[in-house]
Amino acid sequence: MVTLYYFIFLFPLIAFPVEYVIGNYKSRYSGIFSSLMIILSLITVLDAYYYLSSHAFIYSHYQWFYNIDVGIYIDRLTLVMALMVTSVSLLINIFAMFYMKDDPRKNVYFAETSLFITGMLGLVVASNLVLFFLFWEIVGLCSYLLIGFWFFKPNAAAAAKKAFIVTRIGDLLFMIGMAVIYTTLLKLNPSSPLSIPYLITNASHISAIIGPNVLALAALLLFSGAIAKSAQFPLHVWLPDSMEGPTTVSALIHAATMVTAGIYLVARLYPLYEFAAPYTLYVVTLIGAFTAFYAGILAIVMNDIKRVLAYSTISQLGYMLTAVGLSGIIGYSGVAFGMYHLVVHAVFKALLFMSAAVILLGLLELRDIKQMGGLFKRMPATAILILIGSLTLAAIPPTAGYFSKGQIINGAYEYFINSGNIIPWLLLIFGEILTATYIFRMYFLVFLGKPRSEIAANARDPKLIYLTPLMILAFLSLTLGYIQKPFYKYLYSSVNVYTPPLIIELIPVAFSITGIVIAYIIYRYTVYKNIDIHENILYRAIKNKFYFDKLYTQYIAERVILPLSHIFGAGDKDFDRGIDGFGEELSILGGKLRKIETGYMTYYVVFLVIGISVIFLIVELLGMIN
Amino acid sequence: MNYEYFYSIIVLGISGFISLAIGIKNNNKKILAGFTSLALIVSFLLVLAGTKNYNILTMSFNSFDSYWALIFIASTLLIIVPAMNDIKGRYDVFYALTLFMTLSMLIAAFTYNLIVLFVSFEGVSVITYVLVAFNRTRRNLEGSLKYFIISTLGTSFNILGISFFYLATKTFDLFSVGKIFYSEGLLLALVFIIIGFGFKLAIFPMQQWAIDTYDGAPNSISAFLSTGGKILAYMILLKILYLGFVHDYNYVFYFFSILGILTMTYGNLSALSQNNLKRIFAYSSVAQAGYMVLVFALIGFSYFPANVIPKSTFIRFGIASAMFYAVVYIFMQGGAYIAMNLIKKDKIMIEDLDGLSKKSRLSAFSLWIFMLSLTGIPLTGGFLAKYFLFFSLIVGGLWWLAVIAILNSVISVFYYFRIILNSYVSESDNEFNLAPSVKYPLFATAAITIALGVLFFIYTYLIGIAAI
C-alpha cells in the first residue's frame, strides 16, 4: 500500500479545517487535534522508514494535466527531511499550546501552522516540480499569514508583506527555471518532463542532450528560488523582519518548515547541479560561504534577541549551502554533510527559539537585550537550556554542532586541497569566530550581571512541565553527534568522512573559543555601550545592515518600481474604464435581448420556427460549400 | 434471461409503490424523504455493483451507461431533501413521482434503442409537467403550461425524426446503423431528432420556455429540470450523434458550432441585465448548455474526410470531457437552485441575498463556491470541467471555438460575481430560511463541487470508458 504514504502530508491537512472550526466552539482544546495529526504523520514517516529498509524508494503518481503527474517520491533523503520536519514541528506545536494559551485567536494559529506543516511535508515528498512548487507556495502563503498573525501591530503587517514580496522574487525565477526545463525536456520525455525521479536519475543523459550550459541556467534559476526561501544573500532581508510574528512561528520558520526548503531543493535536485557546468556549484558554494560570514557580522551588533537568532539562522543556512556546493569536488559527501547540519541545526535552533520564547513570556515581550541581564539567577532552567543551544551553535566539542559543522569545515579544507581554492574554507572558519561571538555576546548580556530594567528583575521560570519539549531538544543537541557516521552512511553509501591534519582540525574549535573570549571582553568592558552609532562609520554600516534594506525599499522599490507602476497604472485606468464601458454596453445589449422573452406563447413559437429555419439555411449553405 | 441487471431499476419501481402505500397511512415528509433517499442510494449501489459488459434485449450494461445512470440518480438525490421545504401537499405522490422519473432515466441510460429512448424520455417529461405545477400557485401553473405546450412541439419533432430514421435504416437500434450509408432520409431524421431533443436541452432558438418554467417552478424542481432533465437530453444526443451517424455529416459540425456560440452568448448577455435571481440562473443554465454542445461540434468535426488527426483519440477526449462536464454541471447548477430555498419569497430578486454572509457564513460560502464553479475559477469542479472541454476542443483542432467559449466565460464573470458581491458585501436585515434541510444539502453539494475540482484523475478514467 504505497498510497498510504500520501497521508504524510494529508494528516496535517485534515487538521487545518478542523482546528479552524473547533476553535470557534471549544477554544480551550485547540492545538490538541493538530498535534495528534502531526503524531500520525510522524508514525506514517516511521512506517516509510521500515518500508525503505527493504526497498530503494517509494514512488506513486497520478496523471494530472496532460503531461504533469502528481504524486509522491520518497527515498532516504526525503525520509530524513520528513522525519526532521514532523518531529521538530511536533515539539514546537506542543510547546505552542503553552505559549499561545492566552491568545484569543489561537485556533487560527493552529489551523495555519497545520497548513504550514502540510506545505512543507508536501514539498518534501512531492514527485513533480509543479507539485513541489504548489506546496512551496503554500509555505510562502502560510509564512505571510503567520508572520502577520498579530496584524494589528503595524510592524508585523509590514514584515509579513516584506517576507511575501521578497520570496516572490525567488518564486518568479523558480517558475522561469521550471519553464526552461519543461520546454527543453519536452522532446526528450514527453510523458512527464518535470518529474523529479526522472530528472535525478537521468541527469547525465539530460546534460549530454541539452548541453551543460542550458542545464546550468535552469539549475541556477531554481537555485534563485532557494536563495529567496532560504534567505541567502542578497535576498536575506525578509528573515530578520519576520521576527514580528509569534516566537513559536519563528521557531517553525527557522527550524522545521520554511528556510530549510531551499537547501532541500538543491539537495533533492543535486544530480542536475552535478552534471551542469562546473561553475553552477561554485556559485552555490560562494553564495553560501559569503552569507555565512556576512550574516555573522550583522548578528554581532543586533540588540534584539530574536534578530540575533535570525541572523544566526541565515549564517547557518549559508554553511549548509556551502556544504552542498562543495560536492562539486568532494562528491556526495557534501550533500550528506549539509543535510546532517540541517537536521542538527533544526534541533538546536528550535531549542534556542523556544527558550527565547520563554524569556519573552517572562519579560512581557521585551526583546532588547540591553535591558535584560541577570536572568541566570531568575530563570536558571531556561539559562541552562539556552546555554546548551548556544554551545551547539558555536560548535564546542561534545555537542552535535561540533560534529556537523566541523565536518563541513573539514570538507571545505578537502575542497581546498583538491581544487586549490581556499576562499570557502577561510570564510567558514572566520564565520566560526563570528558565530561564537554573537551568540555568547547575547548570552552574557541576557544572563550575567545585574538586571538593567524593572521587568527583567521580576522574571521567573515557568513550570518545568512546560519546558519538556525544550529538554528533549537539549538532550538531542547533546547526543545527536553520535549518529554522525551512521547518518552519512544511511544517506549515501559513498560518503567519506574527512580527517585533515590535527592542527587544521583544531582551528575551528580554537576559533570558537576565541569568539567566546571576545564576546566576554565585549561584555566585561562594556564595549557595546561605548560605541556611538553616529561616530563609527563601520559600526553604522553594519548597524544599517550594509544599507541593503534601504537599497531595496528606498531605491529599487520607491524610485524604480513605483514610478513604473504609476506609468502602467495610468494605462490601467483607461483599461478599467474600457472594461466598465464594455460591461455597460453588454448589459444594454442583454437588456435588448431579454425583450425576446415576452411571455407570450404564440410569439415563442413564431420565433422558434424562424430561428430554426434561418439556422438550417446557414448550415445548408455552409455544407454545400464544403 | 438474467434479471439481475435490472435490479437497480426494479428497486426504484417497487419503492415508488411503497412510497404511495406509506402515504395512505400518513403523509410525514421526513419519513418519505428518508425512504426515497434510501431507495435511491440502494439503486446507486446496485448500479455500481452491476456486472459490466452485458447486452440484453435492447439494453447494454457497460461502464459508460452505468456512469450516466449514476449521474441521473445523483441528480434526483440532490433534490429529495431540499424538496421538503418548497413542496406542499401530497408528499407521498411527490416522492413516488420522483422515483418513477428516476426509473425512466435509468432505462434511458441503459438503452440504445430509439423507441425505448423516446418512451423513457417522454416518461420523464410527463412527470416533470406534473412536478412543475405541484404547488398549484399561479406561477407554477403558468410555467407548467408553457413547458407542456412547447415540449409537445418538441415531442412531435422527435416522433417525426425517429420515423424518418426507421424509413432510412429499417431499424431502431443505434448499434446496427453503422453499416448504413449516407442518405437524404437519414439527414432529415438527424435534423428532426436534434431539434426535438434540443428543446429539452434549451439551446438557442428553443430556449424561451426554459426561462419562464425555471422561474415559475418550485426551487427544487427548477434544480432538477436544469440539471437532470437537461443532462438526459444531452446524453441521448451524445449517444445518437456518436453511434447513429458515423458518416460524413459535416452539417452536424456547422449546426452545433453556430448553435453553441449563439446559445452561450445569448445566455450570458441576457443574464447581465437581469435582476430576478432564478431567471439569472436560468440564463446561466442556457449558457452552460452552449458550452456543452461544443462537444457535438467536435464530434461533427471528426466526420470531415479531410481531417488528418486520428479520429478516435480526440473524440474520446471530447466524450470524456462531456461526461465530466455533466457531473460537475449537475452539482454546481443544482446547488445554485437549491440555494434559493434560503430565501423565503416566491419571486426572488438579487437584493434578497443581501447580508447572507452575516446570517450564515457557510451558506454564503456554498453559494460562493457554486458561482466560482459556474464561472470556472480554479480549485472548483467548474474549472476542471471547462479546462477538459477546451482542452479536447484544442486537441481536435477547434481552437477558435475554445477562444469564443473562453471570451464568453469572461462575460459571465459580470453577473456571477454580482451575486457573490450581494451576498457578501451588502448590508441588510433580510430574513433567511436556515432550517437544517436547507443548509446541509447545500453544504454537501458545495463540498462535492470542490472535491470534483481536485479529482482530476477521473478524467483519465473517463477517457478509458468513453468508447461506448
Pairing of strands B55-56, A58-63: unpaired
Candidates A612, A617, A618, partner chain B, best to mutate (most B CBs within 10 A) = A612
Which among B149, B272, B457 has CB closest to A63? B457
| Residue in B205, B272, B274 closest to A615 by CB | B205
A547 — contact with chain B (CB < 8 Å)? Answer: no
- The number of folded domains in chain A is 3
The reply to whether residue A596 touches residue B272, judged by beta carbons under 8 angstroms, is: no
- Which residues form the domain of A486? 286-543
H or E element: which one contains A62? strand A58-63
Instruction: Please give the Cα distance from A127 to A141 (Å, whole number).
Output: 21
User: Are residue A526 and residue A619 in the same domain, yes or no?
Assistant: no
Tell which wins on pLDDT, A454 or B114: B114
A539 touches B at CB < 8 Å:
no
| Residue A611 placed within a domain | yes
B378 class by beta-carbon count within 10 Å (0-12 exposed, 13-18 middle, 19+ buried) = exposed
**Binary contact (A597, B254; C-beta < 8 A):** no
How confident is the model over B205-263, as pLDDT tens digits?
Answer: 888 888 889 988 999 999 999 999 999 999 999 888 877 665 556 778 888 888 899 99
Q: How many residue pairs bridge chain A and chain B with CB atoms within 8 Å of each other?
A: 86
Is A391 inside a domain boundary?
yes
In a domain, A572, yes or no: yes
Instruction: Evaluate if residue B201 carries a pLDDT over 80.
Output: yes
Residue A97 domain flag: no
Q: How confident is the model at residue A513 (pLDDT cuts 50, 70, 90)?
A: confident
Tell which of B208, B213, B252, B253 to mutate to test the A interface (max A CBs under 10 Å): B208
Q: State how far the Cα of B281 lies from the Cα of A181, in Å rounded to an integer.
A: 44
A105 has pLDDT over 90: no
The pLDDT of residue B325 is 94
Query: What per-residue confidence (pLDDT) applies to B51?
Result: 62
Look at A560 and A59; give whichever has higher pLDDT.
Answer: A59
Residue owning grid cell 535552469: A218
User: Buried b / exposed e across A189-222, counting CB within 10 Å, b at 16+?
Assistant: beebbbbbbbbbebbeebbeebebebbbbbbbbb
Is residue A212 domain-resident? no
Please give the residue of chain B at the shortest CA–CA distance from A589: B269
A122 vs B contacts (CB less than 8 Å) = none
Tell me how close the Cα of A439 comes to any Cα of chain B, in angstroms: 46
- Centre a 10 Å sphere on the Cβ of residue B337 and count the other Cβ atoms it contains: 29
CB of A622 less than 8 A from some CB of B: yes
Contacts of A591 in chain B (CB under 8 A): 272-273
**Phi, then psi, of B432 in degrees rounded to 5:** -125, 150
Query: Of chain B residues 386-425, which have a CB less than 8 A from chain A?
Result: 387, 391, 411, 414
A618 CA: distance to closest CA in chain B (Å)? 8
Which of A121-130, A232-241, B373-382 is predicted least confidently?
A: A232-241
Cα–Cα nearest to B222, from B56, B24, B79: B79
* Last-in-domain residue among A502, A517, A543: A543
For B:304-323, CB contacts with A below 8 A are 304
Q: Are residues A464 and A586 in the same domain?
A: no
**Which residue in chain A has the smallest CA separation from B145?**
A601
H or E stretch covering A69: strand A69-74
CB contact under 8 A, A593 and B269: yes
Count Cβ atoms below 10 Å from residue B125 Cβ, excluding itself: 22
Q: What is the pLDDT of residue B178?
A: 59
Which triple of cell numbers denotes residue A594?
A: 431579454
> Which residues in chain A have their CB less than 8 angstroms from residue B304's CB?
626
Cell 520536519, residue? A85
CA distance A135 to chain B (A): 15
Chain A residues whose beta carbon lies within 8 Å of the beta carbon of residue B268: 590
Scanning B3-62 for CB atoms below 8 A from A yields none
For cell 432550517, the residue is B435
Burial of A420 per CB tally in 10 Å (0-12, 13-18, 19+): exposed
User: Where residue B305 falls among pLDDT bands split at 50, 70, 90?
Assistant: low
Q: What is the pLDDT of residues B3-18, one digit of tens each?
A: 777 888 999 999 999 9
Nearest alpha carbon to residue B122 among B33, B69, B197 = B197
What per-residue string of b and e applies to A482-502 under the rule 16 or more CB within 10 Å gives b? eebeebbebbbeebeebebee
The CA–CA distances, whole Å, from A190 to A23, A68, A177 equal 47, 10, 18
Which ranges in B26-58 belong to alpha helices (H)?
29-49
Would you say the C-alpha torsion A359, A363, A364, A367 has a positive or negative sign?
A: negative
The larger pLDDT score, comparing residue A575 to residue B359, is at B359
Of B208, B269, B273, the CB nearest to A604: B208
pLDDT of residue B329: 94
What pLDDT score was predicted for residue B435? 87
- CB contact under 8 Å between B411 and A596, yes or no, is no
H or E element that contains B365: helix B361-375
**Min Cα–Cα distance to chain A from B92, Å:** 33
The DSSP element (H or E) to which A70 belongs, if any, is strand A69-74
User: B456 vs A604: CB contact, 8 Å cut-off?
Assistant: no
Query: Is A404 in the same domain as A509?
Result: yes
Cα A543–Cα A297–Cα A374 angle in degrees, nearest 5: 80
| Cross-chain Cβ contact B456/A588 below 8 Å | no
Reply yes or no on whether the pLDDT at A624 is more than 70: no
Name the grid cell of B43. Answer: 439503486
Cβ atoms within 10 Å of A351's Cβ, excluding its own: 30
Q: How distant is the Cα of B273 from the closest Cα of chain A, in angstroms?
A: 5
Q: Are residues A476 and A551 in the same domain?
A: no
Strand partners for A421: none
Domain-embedded: residue A159: no
Q: What is the pLDDT averaged over residues B29-35?
A: 90
Co-location of A466 and A497 in the same domain: yes
Predicted local confidence at residue A23, as pLDDT: 67
Provide CB contacts within 8 A for B135, sequence distance 6+: B86, B87, B88, B89, B218
pLDDT digits (tens, 9 = 90+) for B273-283: 888 899 999 99
DSSP secondary structure string for all residues of B209-276: HHHHHHHHS-HHHHHHIIIIIHHHHHHHHHHIIIIIT-S--HHHHHHHHHHHHHHHHHHHHHHHT--B
Q: Judge whether residue B42 has pLDDT over 90.
A: yes
Written as nine digits, the cell of B76 is 434526483
Q: Are residues A478 and A523 in the same domain?
A: yes
Report the candidate in B282, B237, B229 with the shortest Cα–Cα distance to residue B259: B237
Burial of A4 (0-12, 13-18, 19+ CB in 10 A): middle
**Residue A62 and residue A69 in contact, taking contact as beta carbons nearer than 8 Å:** yes
3-state secondary structure of A60: strand
- How confident is the model at residue A539, as a pLDDT? 67
Query: Residue B282 CA to chain centroid, in angstroms?
Result: 13
Cut 0.95: pTM above it: no
State the pLDDT at residue B121. Answer: 94
Other Cβ atoms less than 10 A from the Cβ of A425: the count is 23
Q: Is B272 close to A615, i.e. CB distance below 8 A?
A: no
Indicate the pLDDT class of residue A532, thresholds 50, 70 and 90.
low
| Residues 228-287 in B contacting A (C-alpha not used; CB under 8 Å) | 250-251, 254-255, 258-259, 266, 268-274
pLDDT band at residue B104, thresholds of 50, 70 and 90? very high
pLDDT in tens, A10-38: 888 888 888 877 766 777 777 888 888 89
Q: What separation in angstroms does the CA of A262 have from each of A67, A167, B29?
A: 26, 11, 59
Whole-number Å distance between alpha carbons of A318 and B58: 73
Residue A501 within any structural domain of the chain: yes
Choose from B145, B146, B153, B269 for mutation: most chain A CBs within 10 A: B269
Of A96-100, A173-177, B30-34, the poorest mean pLDDT is in: A96-100
Q: Which residues on chain A are in Cβ contact (under 8 Å) with B150? A: 601, 604-605, 608
Q: What confidence score (pLDDT) does residue B54 get?
A: 72
What pLDDT is attached to residue A159? 83
Q: Check whether residue A415 and residue A481 sit in a common domain.
A: yes
Q: What's the gap in Å between the CA of B205 and the closest CA on chain A?
A: 5
Q: Which of residues 359 through 388 in chain B touch A, CB cutoff 8 A?
A: 387
C-alpha dist (Å) from residue A623 to A159, A327, A370, A620, B304 = 65, 68, 88, 5, 11
Q: Which residues of A touch B250 (CB under 8 A)?
A: 623, 626
**A62 beta partners:** A70
- For residue A455, what is the DSSP state? H
In chain B, domain spans: 4-465
* A366 shares its domain with A461: yes
Ordered alpha helix ranges (H), A235-394: 238-241, 247-251, 260-268, 270-275, 279-301, 305-330, 333-362, 375-378, 380-393
pLDDT tens-digit map of B132-179: 999 888 888 888 988 998 899 899 999 999 998 888 888 888 877 655
Average the pLDDT over each of A133-137, A194-198, A240-244, A553-557 and give the range with the smallest value.
A553-557
On the question of pLDDT at A371 being above 80, the answer is no
Cβ <8 Å between B460 and A62: yes
Query: Is A116's pLDDT higher than 80?
Result: yes
Helix (H) or strand (E) holding A162: helix A154-185
Pairwise CA distance, residues A574 & A601, whole Å? 45
A171 in Cβ contact with A141 (< 8 Å):
no
B205:A608 CB<8 A: yes
In a domain, A503, yes or no: yes
Q: Give me A466's grid cell.
A: 512546560
State pLDDT tens for residues A259-288: 888 889 988 888 888 888 888 888 888 888
Q: Do A590 and B153 touch (CB under 8 A)?
A: no
Same domain, A569 and A613: no
Chain A CB contacts of B418 under 8 Å are none
Give yes or no for residue B439 having a pLDDT over 70.
Answer: yes
CB interface of A with B, residues 554-583, below 8 Å? 583
Residue B97 has pLDDT above 80, yes or no: yes
Smallest Cβ–Cβ distance between A611 and the set B204, B209, B391 belongs to B204
Residue of A62, A596, A619 lying closest to B258 (CB–CB): A619
